[in-house]
Structure 1
Amino acid sequence: MNHRLPASLAATLAFALAACSQPAPPADNAPVVAGEPLASRPVMIGTEGPQLPACSSISRVKAGGTDVYWAPGETRAVKAKLAGGVRVSLCEATDDDAWFGVIFPPAGQDDTLCGIGRPIRTAREYQGPCRWGWIKGGTVQLGA
């Protein structure tokens, strides 16, 4: 019994294996696509301690709106789009303030629904009932 692959199939497999060994392109070359993100990082609440509200800053999205992403720096998949003027709660920020972790209610709902205006004992991932995500720094008016 002969176990040799046809030459065309062997070449295809060799090319596929070679492609797997190539380094991934830099993140800034990744196209924006719909669907599942490559990374996801829930927003943390209560990071300012048990004496302050779980998310202490209410801000408004600047004119033109903004995209909401699954994680700071993860721009391959948009999680939601927010219109200019929409109120969001800023709950955490990256060390360089390039990204803000935000919580926002579904369209047409009051942000008091989110349950983040009161203190919590220890910092934790936000679990709902509102939506959460990451926006780029500079896309909101802080404290507006």
Structure 2
Amino acid sequence: MKAPLFLSRTLPLTALATLALTACSEPPPPVDNAPPMAGDPIATRAVKIGTEGPSLPACSSISRVQDGGTEVYWAPGETRVVKARLAGGTRVSVCEATEDDTWFGIVFSAPGTDPDMCGITRAVRNEREYQGPCRWGWIKGGTVRLGA
């Protein structure tokens, strides 16, 4: 028995609409992202690379997050909104520090991606804000093992 004409025409349209809605849905955030919090950060300050001069790597230290992990913030001293959470042992590049070393500006790769793609191991001509492709943020001093 053949399907009624209206069913044979609407079924492909229904399948197409379902496929389109599925393609538009947002993927879940990476596992290291912090849960959404109310409000925007009060301050945002991009991490600078090349602070040690043009003859050294863009970021001075490859380090590991201390056991217990750490939270990544949008700016030094800004603790209202967490940008990401990093697990203990996560590899990060320390690119700058506040004068009193209470905050470190870091660059880190997304889970499952190659940290070498961040482009911070080569020298840059002038100090500048990090533009990607990896993630960046600020962590409290004492939450990384420097040079580990």
TM-score by length of 1: 0.76
Structure 1 residues not aligned, in runs of 5+: 1-32
- 2:110 equivalent among 86, 106, 111: 106
Residues 119-138 of structure 1: pairs in structure 2 closer than 5 A: 119-138=123-142
2:91 maps to 1:87: yes
Secondary structure at the counterpart of residue 112 of structure 1: helix
Runs of 4+ in 1 over 4 A off after TM superposition: none
Residues 63-74 of structure 1: pairs in structure 2 closer than 5 A: 63-74=67-78
Secondary structure at the counterpart of residue 58 of structure 1: strand
Deviation (angstroms), 1:34: 4.2
Deviation (angstroms), 1:70: 0.2
2:88 maps to 1:58: no
Secondary structure at the counterpart of residue 134 of structure 1: strand
CA contact (8 A) 1:100 1:134 kept: yes
Q: Identity, % of aligned pairs? A: 72
CA-based RMSD of the aligned residues comes to 0.8
- Counterpart-to-counterpart distance in 2, 1:80 and 1:91: 17
Letter matched to residue 143 of structure 1: G
- Between Structure 1 and Structure 2, which shows a larger proportion of strand residues? 1
Q: Could you say which residue in structure 1 is the equivalent of 2:121?
A: 117
Q: Cα deviation per residue 1:40-84 (whole Å; 9 max; x = unaligned)?
A: 000000000000000020000000000000000000000000000
The aligned length equals: 112
TM-score by length of 2: 0.74
Secondary structure at the counterpart of residue 75 of structure 1: coil
Q: Cα deviation per residue 1:104-143 (whole Å; 9 max; x = unaligned)?
A: 0011111101001000000000000000000000000000
**1:39–1:51: structure 2 CA closer, same or farther, 3 Å change rule?**
same
Deviation (angstroms), 1:36: 1.9
- Counterpart-to-counterpart distance in 1, 2:38 and 2:142: 24
